[in-house]
Amino acid sequence: MATSLVLSTSVSLTYYGHCAFLWQTPGEVRVLIDPYRNRHDRYRFTRRFPDVPCDLALITHAHFDHDATLELAETVSVLRMPGDFHHRDLHVRGILDQHSGRFSRGMANVMFRLETAG
């Protein structure tokens, strides 16, 4: 079940589990971060990722629990790399970093900073 939090009168944040969040800007840009999936050989999540309408998906790194892009509509733009992206009232900056943890240490990871509504 998704949990929503209104950060101001015009920006909303919805949590879908694990590391998946949906931001909606005042200009109604919907940004989904890190949708999850189960691997073919490992059943980690008890439910499939829900159908979440969005305009943009941000994928921080290529692990099954962060990159369910095949579940998204084909009209969704996907960002996986560092750099700057502007769309209507949204500015996204991707910053290259390294994943931590004992199995993936040193793997590329992108941190995303979202700016909207001041």
d(CA 101, CA 110): 15
Determine, yes or no, domain membership for 68. Answer: yes
Determine, yes or no, domain membership for 60. Answer: yes
Determine, yes or no, domain membership for 31. Answer: yes
User: pLDDT per residue over 90-116, tens digit each?
Assistant: 999 999 987 776 666 667 889 999 999
- Kindly tell me the burial class for residue 89, based on how many C-beta atoms sit within 10 Å of its own C-beta (0-12, 13-18, 19 or more): middle
The domain in which residue 67 lies consists of 12-39+48-116
Determine, yes or no, domain membership for 56. Answer: yes
Phi, psi of 71, rounded to the nearest 5 degrees: -85, -10
Determine, yes or no, domain membership for 112. Answer: yes
User: pLDDT per residue over 45-66, tens digit each?
Assistant: 667 777 889 999 998 877 666 6
pTM: 0.78
d(CA 62, CA 76): 18
